[in-house]
Amino acid sequence: MDLNSLFSLQDRVAIITGGSKGIGFAIAHFFAAAGAKVVINGRYQENLDVAVASLRSRGYEVTGIAHHIGYQEQRKLLIEKTLKKYSKIDILVNNAAVSPVFAPIHEYESGVLDKIIDVNLKAPYELSQLCFHHLKKSTNSSIINISSVGAISPERGLGLYSISKAALLSMTKVFAKEWGDFNIRVNAICPGVIQTQFSKNMWSDEKIHQHIMNNLPLKRLGNEEDIAAMALFLASNASSYTTGAVFTSDGGYSI
């Protein structure tokens, strides 16, 4: 075993949804630094352009493709454009997610469930299916689903988000079991409270923040790099015998 290349992603092509900021951007940074050709996806091209410029300034190969993965046709276009540029796909990171409401579940308006499921569950499912024939051709293909500790123990105010992320864990295990025959590895990461704009409702509220800190064995909130490092492990040869696994990165919150 060549330990010098254990975490290398040299010349592999990776797609990262929700890649213009936060966890997705950090994963893109780590993958590109490890040698991957990275496609970041998001809804707005201007945000992607800023992210791409930042990473290219460090000498990395990164492309931004704007499509709303909540819609079936735009999911297809994302894969088609990636293949047009690179002719292959080795890694898929299903990171994009929505949580449009922070409220008790009985206060959710009609239509919110559909929006959450479309992005948080249907998109990872269909993107994985669209990548299937290309991942089969890779010598070390990997799908990484970014779930949440809310999938394991839901928090008040994030009910439907937690439901969608729990379903994503089940989907991860189903794909891992069925696609192992094709040497496609499928794993999930469950971040805790990571200090990003996405989770601001959790860490910016003093009462909620204090509750979290009281229950954290490691007395700090997480950062994007904590998740990116685990994603790099799951994308690389270092995890070549790992599939169907669920990793928490939450400072011990879910213990």
Instruction: State the 10-residue block means of pLDDT for the chain, 255 residues long.
Output: 87 97 97 98 97 98 98 98 98 95 88 95 98 96 97 90 97 98 98 79 71 84 94 97 96 87
Select which of 60, 86, 125, 161 is catalytic: 161
Residue-level pLDDT at 235 = 98
Say what the pTM is.
Answer: 0.95
161 noted as active-site residue: yes
Q: Give the residue among 47, 106, 45, 112 at the shortest CA–CA distance from 74.
A: 45
Query: Alpha-carbon distance 190 to 165, whole Å?
Result: 9
Residue 189 and residue 212: Cα distance in Å, rounded?
19
Domains and CATH numbers, the chain: 3-249 (3.40.50.720)
- pLDDT at position 194 is 87
pLDDT of residue 202: 64
Cα(72)–Cα(122) distance, rounded to whole angstroms?
9
